[in-house]
Amino acid sequence: MALIVQKYGGTSVGNPERIRNVARRVARFQAQGRQVVVVVSAMSGETNKLIALAKEVQANPDPRELDMVMSTGEQVTIGLLAMALKDIGCPARSYTGGQVKVLTDATFTKARILSIDEANMRRDLDAGYVIVVAGFQGVDAEGNITTLGRGGSDTSAVALAAALKADECQIYTDVDGVYTTDPRVVPEARKLDAITFEEMLEMASLGSKVLQLRSVEFAGKYKVKLRVLSSFQDEGEGTLITVEEEKNMEQPIISGIAFNRDEAKLTMLGVPDKPGIAYQILGAIADANIDVDMIIQNVGHDGTTDFSFTVNRGEFTKATAILEGVREKLGAREITGDNKICKVSAVGVGMRSHPGVASQMFKALADEGINIKMISTSEIKISVVLDEKYLELAVRVLHRTFGLDQEV
């Protein structure tokens, strides 16, 4: 019997009527002879409300207690969905992360899954139940409730699919698949029928909000077949995310244009040009648990060099304060920062076999008078940092340049 894991986000379960819609969809799948495990998020806006509540009580909420508060959002949804299923004659059982035994490390508010005990779920599935699991949460070795960080319900769903060796993991969102870029920026954006894990990883890491990065990594690692669908449409195949590249002669070189507004750039000027400098600068940033994205070190002259890197905009103030301390220690000249930048990227496995993609991209931007501040590349991606005001223009231009407006 086929086993599928379905995940529904906050918008899909945003009110009682939508929860009933999800119940009807799940019941249809079960009636077709499939075993179904459903993973749900908190109702839309609920997690933010709980965080705000915690901050009213404690300005910087204690991470353990914050997880205790936040995990209640999903607990409400699983109970309501299980009730909705029972109401239409579909036997269902709700489980919190702890009841499943989703074992995580003890990093509160952004825990990582270590293992999943699927025995209880298997028993109930074999008894004909639909299993409704609270996404985004687990427990550590001491039984403390933990949460997996933003978008963690996607990761929960993929991890459960891997543990249960499910035939497919379906992620239901408010969009009907993965698009060549954000349709709100480029109305001509097209839905992709299929995309490789590599491409999806790049898109997710570059700011495409359809799937959470960790869930894509997880799915790629455990070869979980992943499909993105709309919870508001009954028809449609969505987008399949696969391990294999489509062996298609007409496969476009570029699959999508991703972008991220939440970028900030920091530069330390007049850094002594000697071994270990990069470590001293970035080590301090890493110790503060701040992710660094692009890094550029200029060619040294007069015994000094300039060192630039980008961080998430939300970490800009914190990173600047840390750098100030490092600057004094190193004897660097000054620190400059810019938090009005964005990153735009072209992604596609076709780049491997097609030279000239970078020059095509740079020419298209130059023709529009858009100045590039930083560049980084990987085997299947080219990213540029630009002034934020050029973001939408750059995305539209590149989308057109690489022929993504056309039906393939």
In-domain check, residue 197: no
Residues 278 and 161 in one domain: no
Residue 329 lies in a domain: yes
Number of alpha carbons in the 13 Å side-chain half-sphere of residue 120 = 15
Show Cβ contacts of residue 262 under 8 Å, excluding neighbours closer than 6 positions: 207, 312, 313, 314
Residues 167 and 262 in one domain: no
* Residues 165, 27 share a domain: yes
For 299, the domain range is: 257-401
- Quick check: helix, strand or coil at residue 124? helix
CATH assignment of the domain containing 88: 3.40.1160.10
* 229 within domain boundaries: no
Q: How many domains does the chain have?
A: 2
State the pLDDT at residue 249.
41
For residue 167, tell me if it sits in a domain: yes
Among 147-151, 182-186, 201-205, 379-383, the range scoring the smallest mean pLDDT is: 201-205
| Together in a domain, 159 and 265 | no
Burial of 276 (0-12, 13-18, 19+ CB in 10 A): exposed
Q: Which amino acid is residue 293, in one-letter code?
A: D
The answer on pLDDT for 388 being more than 90 is yes
Res 406: pLDDT: 63
pLDDT, tens digit, 9 for 90 and up, residues 185-229: 998 999 888 888 888 888 877 766 677 778 888 888 888 999 999
Which of the four pLDDT bands, split at 50, 70 and 90, describes residue 347?
Answer: very high
Q: Say if residue 169 is in the same domain as residue 282.
A: no
CA neighbours within 13 Å on the CB side: how many for 166?
29
pTM: 0.78
Q: What phi and psi, each to the nearest 5 degrees, are found at residue 7?
A: -120, 130
CATH number at residue 318: 3.30.2130.10
At what angle are helices 72-87 and 63-70 packed, to 10 degrees? Answer: 20
Instruction: Specify if 192 maps to a domain.
Output: no
